[in-house]
Chain A
Amino acid sequence: QVQLQESGPGLLKPSETLSLTCTVSGASISAFYWGWVRQPPGRGLEWIGYIYYTGRTNYNPSLKSRVTMSLDTSKNQFSLKLNSVTAADTAVYYCARDGVPSIDDYYYGLDVWGQGTTVTVSS
Protein backbone atom coordinates (compact mmCIF):
# COMPACT_ATOMS: atom_id res chain seq x y z
CA GLN A 1 0.00 0.00 0.00
CA VAL A 2 1.01 3.63 -0.40
CA GLN A 3 3.09 5.01 2.46
CA LEU A 4 4.53 8.46 3.03
CA GLN A 5 7.24 9.56 5.44
CA GLU A 6 8.20 13.14 6.24
CA SER A 7 11.71 14.15 7.20
CA GLY A 8 13.51 17.38 7.98
CA PRO A 9 14.75 19.65 10.75
CA GLY A 10 12.48 19.99 13.74
CA LEU A 11 13.74 23.30 15.06
CA LEU A 12 14.20 26.56 13.18
CA LYS A 13 14.93 30.15 14.08
CA PRO A 14 12.73 33.01 12.89
CA SER A 15 13.53 34.14 9.33
CA GLU A 16 15.03 30.76 8.39
CA THR A 17 13.73 28.49 5.65
CA LEU A 18 11.74 25.37 6.50
CA SER A 19 12.71 22.43 4.29
CA LEU A 20 10.88 19.11 4.46
CA THR A 21 11.00 16.01 2.30
CA CYS A 22 8.38 13.33 1.85
CA THR A 23 9.47 9.87 0.73
CA VAL A 24 6.81 7.85 -1.04
CA SER A 25 6.69 4.07 -1.18
CA GLY A 26 4.15 1.85 -2.84
CA ALA A 27 3.38 4.31 -5.64
CA SER A 28 5.24 6.31 -8.22
CA ILE A 29 5.20 10.04 -7.62
CA SER A 30 4.89 10.41 -11.38
CA ALA A 31 1.33 9.18 -11.23
CA PHE A 32 -0.35 11.43 -8.69
CA TYR A 33 -0.59 14.83 -7.12
CA TRP A 34 1.25 15.27 -3.82
CA GLY A 35 0.49 17.79 -1.14
CA TRP A 36 1.33 19.25 2.23
CA VAL A 37 -0.99 20.07 5.12
CA ARG A 38 -0.06 21.59 8.46
CA GLN A 39 -1.63 21.69 11.90
CA PRO A 40 -0.55 24.24 14.54
CA PRO A 41 -0.55 22.95 18.11
CA GLY A 42 -4.11 22.36 19.33
CA ARG A 43 -5.62 23.75 16.15
CA GLY A 44 -7.15 22.62 12.88
CA LEU A 45 -5.80 21.65 9.48
CA GLU A 46 -4.46 24.02 6.84
CA TRP A 47 -3.74 22.94 3.29
CA ILE A 48 -0.42 24.32 2.04
CA GLY A 49 -0.39 23.18 -1.57
CA TYR A 50 0.25 20.40 -4.07
CA ILE A 51 2.65 19.49 -6.84
CA TYR A 52 2.19 17.24 -9.86
CA TYR A 53 5.02 15.37 -11.59
CA THR A 54 4.83 17.79 -14.50
CA GLY A 55 5.86 20.53 -12.11
CA ARG A 56 2.39 21.99 -11.92
CA THR A 57 1.77 23.48 -8.50
CA ASN A 58 -1.10 25.05 -6.63
CA TYR A 59 -0.51 26.85 -3.34
CA ASN A 60 -2.72 28.19 -0.60
CA PRO A 61 -3.05 31.91 -1.44
CA SER A 62 -2.24 32.82 2.16
CA LEU A 63 1.16 31.11 1.91
CA LYS A 64 1.88 31.40 -1.80
CA SER A 65 4.52 34.11 -1.51
CA ARG A 66 6.67 31.95 0.79
CA VAL A 67 6.10 28.40 -0.51
CA THR A 68 8.00 26.36 -3.06
CA MET A 69 7.38 22.70 -3.80
CA SER A 70 9.52 20.39 -5.87
CA LEU A 71 9.95 16.72 -6.56
CA ASP A 72 12.71 14.23 -7.28
CA THR A 73 11.39 11.37 -9.38
CA SER A 74 14.67 9.44 -9.11
CA LYS A 75 14.22 9.22 -5.35
CA ASN A 76 10.41 9.11 -5.39
CA GLN A 77 10.37 12.14 -3.10
CA PHE A 78 8.77 15.53 -3.05
CA SER A 79 9.71 18.54 -0.96
CA LEU A 80 8.39 21.67 0.69
CA LYS A 81 10.22 24.91 1.30
CA LEU A 82 8.69 27.70 3.35
CA ASN A 83 10.85 30.77 3.73
CA SER A 84 10.97 33.54 6.29
CA VAL A 85 9.37 31.43 9.00
CA THR A 86 7.94 32.88 12.20
CA ALA A 87 6.50 31.35 15.36
CA ALA A 88 3.15 31.19 13.54
CA ASP A 89 4.63 28.49 11.29
CA THR A 90 5.12 26.16 14.24
CA ALA A 91 3.04 23.10 13.43
CA VAL A 92 2.93 19.43 12.59
CA TYR A 93 3.53 19.17 8.86
CA TYR A 94 1.94 16.29 6.97
CA CYS A 95 2.58 15.14 3.45
CA ALA A 96 -0.27 13.44 1.65
CA ARG A 97 -1.40 12.18 -1.71
CA ASP A 98 -3.52 14.91 -3.17
CA GLY A 99 -5.85 15.15 -6.12
CA VAL A 100 -7.82 17.42 -8.39
CA PRO A 101 -11.32 17.21 -9.83
CA SER A 102 -11.43 14.71 -12.65
CA ILE A 103 -13.73 12.45 -14.62
CA ASP A 104 -12.66 9.52 -12.45
CA ASP A 105 -15.16 8.19 -9.94
CA TYR A 106 -12.42 8.04 -7.32
CA TYR A 107 -11.09 11.28 -5.90
CA TYR A 108 -7.54 11.10 -4.56
CA GLY A 109 -7.59 14.34 -2.57
CA LEU A 110 -5.69 13.74 0.67
CA ASP A 111 -6.59 10.04 0.77
CA VAL A 112 -3.24 8.88 2.16
CA TRP A 113 -1.21 10.74 4.80
CA GLY A 114 2.20 10.53 6.35
CA GLN A 115 2.64 10.36 10.11
CA GLY A 116 3.60 14.03 10.31
CA THR A 117 6.69 15.84 11.52
CA THR A 118 6.79 18.58 14.15
CA VAL A 119 8.47 21.84 13.23
CA THR A 120 9.07 24.44 15.92
CA VAL A 121 10.15 27.99 15.17
CA SER A 122 11.80 29.62 18.13
CA SER A 123 14.70 31.95 18.80
Chain B
Amino acid sequence: DAVMTQSPLSLPVTLGQPASISCRSSQSLVYSDGNTYLSWFQQRPGQSPRRLIYKVSNRDSGVPDRFSGSGSGTDFTLKISRVEADDVGVYYCMQGAPWPTFGQGTKLEIK
Protein backbone atom coordinates (compact mmCIF):
# COMPACT_ATOMS: atom_id res chain seq x y z
CA ASP B 1 0.00 0.00 0.00
CA ALA B 2 1.32 3.43 -0.91
CA VAL B 3 2.04 5.63 2.09
CA MET B 4 1.54 9.31 1.29
CA THR B 5 3.69 11.85 3.11
CA GLN B 6 2.95 15.55 2.89
CA SER B 7 5.13 18.52 3.79
CA PRO B 8 4.92 20.90 5.38
CA LEU B 9 2.16 19.96 7.80
CA SER B 10 1.58 23.63 8.62
CA LEU B 11 1.85 26.40 6.06
CA PRO B 12 1.47 30.05 7.09
CA VAL B 13 1.21 32.23 4.01
CA THR B 14 0.82 35.96 3.45
CA LEU B 15 -2.20 36.98 1.38
CA GLY B 16 -1.28 37.33 -2.28
CA GLN B 17 1.85 35.21 -1.94
CA PRO B 18 2.35 31.78 -3.50
CA ALA B 19 2.11 28.52 -1.59
CA SER B 20 3.40 25.05 -2.34
CA ILE B 21 2.61 21.68 -0.77
CA SER B 22 4.65 18.56 -1.40
CA CYS B 23 3.33 15.01 -1.44
CA ARG B 24 5.58 11.98 -1.67
CA SER B 25 4.53 8.39 -2.14
CA SER B 26 6.35 5.37 -0.78
CA GLN B 27 6.07 3.79 -4.22
CA SER B 28 5.53 4.87 -7.81
CA LEU B 29 1.95 5.89 -8.50
CA VAL B 30 2.09 5.08 -12.19
CA TYR B 31 -0.75 2.60 -12.61
CA SER B 32 -0.78 -0.36 -15.00
CA ASP B 33 -2.77 1.71 -17.52
CA GLY B 34 -0.03 4.33 -17.65
CA ASN B 35 -2.00 6.95 -15.73
CA THR B 36 -1.18 8.38 -12.31
CA TYR B 37 -4.18 8.62 -10.01
CA LEU B 38 -2.99 11.39 -7.72
CA SER B 39 -5.61 13.84 -6.48
CA TRP B 40 -5.64 16.90 -4.24
CA PHE B 41 -8.46 17.88 -1.89
CA GLN B 42 -9.25 21.05 0.02
CA GLN B 43 -11.15 20.95 3.29
CA ARG B 44 -12.22 24.34 4.55
CA PRO B 45 -13.04 24.63 8.26
CA GLY B 46 -16.29 22.87 9.07
CA GLN B 47 -16.83 21.68 5.50
CA SER B 48 -16.61 18.45 3.56
CA PRO B 49 -13.51 17.84 1.47
CA ARG B 50 -13.62 19.17 -2.07
CA ARG B 51 -11.54 17.71 -4.85
CA LEU B 52 -9.37 20.26 -6.63
CA ILE B 53 -7.09 18.21 -8.87
CA TYR B 54 -7.24 14.70 -10.34
CA LYS B 55 -4.68 12.65 -12.24
CA VAL B 56 -1.86 14.91 -11.07
CA SER B 57 -2.69 18.09 -12.95
CA ASN B 58 -6.33 18.20 -14.07
CA ARG B 59 -8.37 20.89 -12.33
CA ASP B 60 -11.92 20.03 -11.37
CA SER B 61 -14.77 22.17 -12.64
CA GLY B 62 -15.02 25.48 -10.81
CA VAL B 63 -11.52 25.34 -9.32
CA PRO B 64 -9.67 28.63 -9.83
CA ASP B 65 -6.66 28.49 -12.09
CA ARG B 66 -4.60 29.76 -9.16
CA PHE B 67 -4.43 26.09 -8.20
CA SER B 68 -2.13 23.79 -10.14
CA GLY B 69 -0.81 20.29 -9.69
CA SER B 70 2.36 18.75 -11.00
CA GLY B 71 4.72 15.86 -10.48
CA SER B 72 5.33 12.29 -11.50
CA GLY B 73 6.28 8.90 -10.12
CA THR B 74 6.54 9.45 -6.37
CA ASP B 75 6.82 13.24 -6.03
CA PHE B 76 3.93 15.63 -6.46
CA THR B 77 3.20 19.28 -5.74
CA LEU B 78 0.14 21.46 -5.30
CA LYS B 79 0.77 25.12 -5.95
CA ILE B 80 -1.40 28.14 -5.25
CA SER B 81 -0.13 31.07 -7.25
CA ARG B 82 -1.63 33.79 -5.05
CA VAL B 83 -3.20 32.81 -1.76
CA GLU B 84 -6.59 34.29 -0.92
CA ALA B 85 -8.43 34.27 2.41
CA ASP B 86 -10.83 31.67 1.00
CA ASP B 87 -7.95 29.18 0.65
CA VAL B 88 -7.60 28.65 4.40
CA GLY B 89 -8.08 25.01 5.32
CA VAL B 90 -6.43 21.61 5.17
CA TYR B 91 -5.13 20.17 1.91
CA TYR B 92 -4.80 16.43 1.32
CA CYS B 93 -3.15 14.47 -1.43
CA MET B 94 -4.58 11.07 -2.26
CA GLN B 95 -3.47 8.20 -4.44
CA GLY B 96 -6.38 6.33 -5.99
CA ALA B 97 -5.22 2.89 -7.05
CA PRO B 98 -5.55 0.09 -6.22
CA TRP B 99 -7.32 1.61 -3.22
CA PRO B 100 -7.17 5.18 -1.98
CA THR B 101 -4.81 6.39 0.69
CA PHE B 102 -4.47 9.97 1.86
CA GLY B 103 -1.62 12.11 3.06
CA GLN B 104 -1.75 13.47 6.62
CA GLY B 105 -2.95 16.87 5.50
CA THR B 106 -1.34 20.32 5.32
CA LYS B 107 -2.98 23.13 7.23
CA LEU B 108 -2.81 26.41 5.33
CA GLU B 109 -3.31 29.56 7.34
CA ILE B 110 -2.92 33.24 6.69
CA LYS B 111 0.14 34.79 8.26
Q: Which A residues have a C-beta under 8 Å from some C-beta of B?
A: 37, 44-47, 49, 58, 60-61, 94, 99-103, 106-107, 109-111, 113-116
Contacts and interface: CB of A to CB of B under 8 A. Distances in A.
Given A94-B49, A113-B50, A107 B102 contact: no
Given A44-B104, A45-B102, A94-B49, 14 more contacts: A45-B94, A45-B105, A60-B99, A61-B1, A101-B31, A101-B32, A101-B33, A103-B33, A107-B39, A107-B58, A109-B37, A109-B96, A110-B96, A111-B51
Size band of the interface chain B makes with A = 20 to 34
B96 to A, nearest CB: 5
Contact of A94 (B37, B39, B48): B48
A120 to B, nearest CB: 17
B101 interface: yes
Closest 10 CB pairs of A and B: A47-B100, A113-B48, A45-B102, A109-B96, A107-B54, A44-B105, A111-B51, A101-B97, A101-B31, A107-B55
B47 to A, nearest CB: 8
A61 B101 CA distance: 11
Contacts of A111: 51, 54, 60
B99 A107 contact: no
Given A45-B92, A58-B99, A101-B33, A110 B104 contact: no
Given A45-B102, A58-B99, A110 B94 contact: yes
Instruction: Summarize A's interface: helix, strand, loop or mixed.
Output: loop
Contact of A47 (B31, B60, B102): B102
A116 B43 CA distance: 12
29 contacts: A37-B49, A44-B102, A47-B94, A47-B99, A47-B101, A47-B102, A49-B99, A58-B99, A60-B99, A61-B1, A94-B48, A100-B97, A101-B31, A101-B96, A102-B33, A106-B54, A107-B35, A107-B37, A107-B39, A107-B54, A107-B55, A109-B37, A109-B39, A109-B100, A110-B94, A111-B51, A111-B60, A114-B48, A115-B48
